[in-house]
Amino acid sequence: MSTRPEFFRGLVLAAATALLLNNTALAETATSRPAAGPPSVADLAEGLLDAVVNISISQNVKSDDDDAPMPQVPEGSPHQEFFDEFFKGQGGESNRPRTVNSLGSGFIIDPAGFIVTNNHVIQDADDIEINFSDGSKLKAKLVGTDTKTDLALLKVEPKKPLKAVSFGDSRKIRIGDWVMVVGNPFGLGVSVSVGVVSARGRNINAGPYDSFIQTDAAINRGNSGGPLFNMQGEVIGINTAILSQTGMSVGIGFAVPTELAMNVVNQLKEFGETRRGWLGVRIQPVTDDIAESLKMERPHGALVSGIIEGGPIAKGEIKAGDIITRFDGTDVAEIRDLMRAVGESAVGKKVDVVIIRDGKEQTVHVTLGRLEDGEHLADVQTKPNGEGAKPNEPPAAQLPATDVVLGMKLAVLDADRRKSFGIADDVDGVVVTEVQPNSAAAERRVAVGDVIVEVGQEAMDTPEDVSARVEELKSDGRRNALLMIANKTGELRFVTVRVE
């Protein structure tokens, strides 16, 4: 009986020793084993490479030096052949245009031969050639382009169906998800790079519909137009731009998301052009000052600064000064949200638009027009009418003005001042005849000849109206006055001017 405790103590000691030795061996094994990286994308890439193509373009351009005299080289000079070859290739004696070649990437979306790429890859090309992974080549024709999203659709005529890839839903990707870039960097041939999604919805001021996917997967010159794949082998973006001072990847690349690209590509395929919705309004951001002047809790929405004549807004459904906060069920946090939502809507669609007018929210109903038609109307209406002060007329500043408000000398917009400043007949309000340096108005770039149409969302007819409304806003505790200002041609904008 006396030996039993010793027996059990021996068993416990042996077990503890064995466990310690086992853990030590595991630790040594883990230390000697190389660290594992992410799963290989070899199988994924192998099934997709045939759908990615190299795009070669050529463009005939006239040399800037075609009219310059050609350097004279003595006959028989040892360098004569090099001079002859160089200058004849640049136009020289034969006066032929030189050929510029460039390379980019693209991918097949239809076995029948439809290929997506960037517009800037094929822009101004005289000849487009598609190089496939098996070494074959086909001439391509341009189906259509969209400069606003930098997309283009090409078509080749293959003898047999081509390997194609499909679009995925870019809205499902998350920051940190793995992605794969396939393209033709530096014209070396198809190559693969892998990274993660660094950010979404990036605005790099490349166009009105910026909402780029940002990735740290290497994107270099020549990758433009190539696909950005998710780990299911679906295209979720079209590689478009890099942020770099050297033109080489620094880990910040941008791709057009498929949620934006798919509608554009489908329209190009069906119509050969885009057909975007159009609301027919001019808009500007709702700044902190504008939000404060309108007693908004926070700045959001898009401020309507003007209505395009001949557009969808024909019965005053929306007016200058309204703030659009929701469009067809989509919240409008900033003007970019409104531009995208309208542009992605069908032409002729009837939509509900939520606006704030005079501090109250209301819903109006609008039938959309077509943006491509509306752009011409907008350009025509913003061009100067050609009327202005003639050389033999007295300067506008010599005309007597009345009150000085917020650093501006103001006057009634009568016939003489309208003629002197060249202000269009359909512009009404109070004309600015002088802006004092370093004043509140000068800070907001109010200029002589501008017309104050509204102050604090109330129409102005005389300088006294402006003075009274500004004093009213001061008494109400406002720090800024919201001014609707028209230029000489009638184009409207909103500015906030300090009243303190």
d(CA 419, CA 425): 9
Candidate list 146, 150, 216, 289, residue with the active-site label: 150
Confirm whether 79 is a catalytic residue.
no
Catalytic option among 56, 102, 105, 120 = 120
Nearest CA among 124, 167, 172 for reference residue 145: 124
Q: Are 214 and 253 in contact (CB under 8 A)?
A: yes
CA distance 217 to 38: 14
Question: 223 a known binding residue?
Answer: yes
Burial class (CB in 10 A: 0-12, 13-18, 19+), 23: exposed
Amino acid at position 218, single letter: A
Spatial separation of the C-alpha atoms in residues 159 and 389, rounded to whole Å = 67
* Helix spans in 76-218 (H): 80-89, 119-122
Task: List Cβ neighbours of 20 (8 Å cut-off, separation of 6 or more).
Answer: none
Determine the Cα–Cα distance for residues 301 and 336; give it in Å rounded to an integer: 10
- Cβ-based neighbour number of residue 131 at 10 Å: 18
Question: Are 148 and 207 in contact, with CB atoms under 8 Å apart?
Answer: yes
Active site residue 365: no
At which residue do the structure tokens 């489908």 appear? 266
Helix (H, G, I), strand (E, B) or coil at 43: helix
CB 119, CB 112: distance < 8 Å:
no
- Residue 65, annotated as binding a ligand: no
Residue 438's Cβ-count burial label (10 Å; 0-12, 13-18, 19+) is exposed
CA nearest 335: which of 283, 388, 287?
283
224 among annotated binding-site residues = yes
Distance CA 433, CA 447 (A): 8
Which is the catalytic residue, given 105, 224, 249, 345? 224
Where on the phi/psi map is residue 91: left (φ > 0), alpha (ψ -120 to 50), or beta?
A: left
| Residue 58 labeled ligand binder | no
Residue 150 annotated as binding?
Answer: yes
Sign of CA dihedral 480, 469, 493, 422: negative
Query: And the tokens for 196?
Result: 């993660």
- The Cα–Cα gap between 331 and 316 comes to 22
Based on the residue annotation, tell me whether 150 is a catalytic residue of this protein: yes
Binding site feature residues for substrate: 120, 150, 222-224
- Which residues are known catalytic residues? 120, 150, 224
Binding site feature residues: 120, 150, 222-224
